[in-house]
């Protein structure tokens, strides 16, 4: 039987349909070290304003998800203080003077519990929302995310966060292989490299949506004006 909660929005490569009761918002790695001036990301020479620009849209998306009682997931790219979950290959590929676990401007770089590893204050998780510490780029690898989504019967994922071509794309590909339908909110994701963001959006929705769908946040909020099916 078709659920009365099934909604459809304009997206690419075509309409994206989802059931509000089976949808989760997944906000990837909006952590201080990647986004705030003076953090790890900026210390590597990146223009963090490209990432900071999406914060108001991600905040509005979080408010939308909370209003509509979606399950909300936040991820942090982070490692244990003893680096037991950080493969040497990952650590050694970092900048020689700023490797994972080294002292950075906001505490030890990408280490759980350090100030720089916290989610930025405007997007802070609320009680009841799931925070996933992930040692990889993908949100499913070596985490309990899959089990948490299965317990709640989630079938559709809405993605936001940073960076588009690295942790967001990897997580969407992992979700795709696990059978989720995924939507990436175009103006709620960013990269230090605008060309990589554009290429990733194109890739995700190519070949009939080989990884998923993309849409601007404005497509999502149009639903509020056209239906009362939200619960």
Rounded (5°) CA angle 91-78-161? 110
Output 18 or 42, the one with its CB closest to ligand TIU: 42
Residue from 163, 171, 189, 214 that binds ligand TIU (CB under 6 A)?
163
* Binding window for ligand TIU (CB under 6 A); candidates: 54-62, 81-89, 162-170, 204-212: 162-170
- Rounded to 5°, the CA angle 164-169-171 comes to 125
**Cis status of the peptide bond prior to 13, with omega within 30 of 0:** yes
Q: Contact region for ligand TIU (CB under 6 A) — 9-17, 124-132, 145-153, 163-171?
A: 163-171
Choose the stretch contacting ligand TIU; rule: CB under 6 A; options: 8-16, 53-61, 123-131, 158-166: 158-166
Q: Active-site positions?
A: 29, 134, 167
Residue closer to ligand TIU by CB (options 166, 184) is 166
**Binding to ligand TIU in span 14-73, by CB under 6 A:** 29
- For ligand TIU (CB under 6 A), the number of binding residues is 6
Q: Which of residues 167-186 bind ligand TIU (CB under 6 A)?
A: 167
Q: What is the contact mask toward ligand TIU in residues 73 to 102, using x (rule: CB under 6 A)? A: ----x-------------------------
Cα 57 to Cα 64: distance, rounded to the nearest angstrom:
10
Please tell me the distance from the alpha carbon of residue 231 to that of residue 216, in angstroms, as a whole number.
23
Using CB under 6 A, which of 25, 160, 166, 220 touches ligand TIU? Answer: 166
Distance CA(212)–CA(221), nearest Å, equals 19
The CA-atom distances, in angstroms, between 190 and each of 23, 112, 140, 228 are: 22, 23, 20, 32
Q: How far apart are CA 7 and CA 3, in angstroms?
A: 9
Residue from 24, 61, 162, 201 in contact with ligand TIU (CB under 6 A): 162
Virtual CA dihedral for 119, 63, 49, 40, nearest 10 degrees? Answer: 10
Compute the least distance from the CB of residue 86 to ligand TIU, in Å.
13
Bin 19: left if φ > 0, else alpha if -120 < ψ < 50, else beta.
beta
| Site of interaction with ligand TIU (CB under 6 A) | 29, 77, 162-163, 166-167
């Amino acid at each position: 039987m078709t659920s009365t909660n099934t909604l459809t929005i304009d997206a690419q490569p075509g309409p994206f349909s989802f059931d509000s009761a089976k949808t989760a918002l997944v906000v990837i790695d909006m952590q201080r070290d990647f986004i705030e001036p003076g953090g790890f990301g900026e210390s590597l020479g990146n223009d963090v304003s490209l990432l900071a620009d999406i914060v108001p849209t991600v905040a509005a998306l979080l408010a939308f998800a909370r209003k509509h009682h979606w399950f909300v997931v936040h991820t942090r790219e982070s490692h244990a203080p003893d680096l037991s979950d950080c493969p040497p290959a990952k650590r050694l590929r970092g900048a020689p003077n700023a490797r994972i676990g080294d002292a950075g401007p906001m505490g030890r770089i990408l280490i759980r519990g350090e100030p720089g590893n916290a989610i930025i204050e405007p997007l802070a998780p609320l009680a009841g929302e799931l925070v996933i510490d992930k040692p990889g780029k993908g949100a499913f690898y070596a985490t309990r995310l899959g089990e948490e989504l299965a317990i709640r019967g989630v079938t559709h994922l809405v993605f936001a966060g940073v960076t588009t071509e690295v942790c967001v794309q990897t997580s969407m590909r992992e979700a795709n292989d696990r059978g989720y339908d995924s939507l990436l909110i175009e103006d709620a994701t960013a990269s230090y490299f605008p060309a990589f963001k554009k290429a990733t959006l194109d890739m995700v929705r190519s070949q009939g949506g080989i990884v998923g769908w993309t849409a601007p946040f404005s497509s999502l909020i149009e639903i509020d004006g056209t239906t009362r099916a939200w619960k």
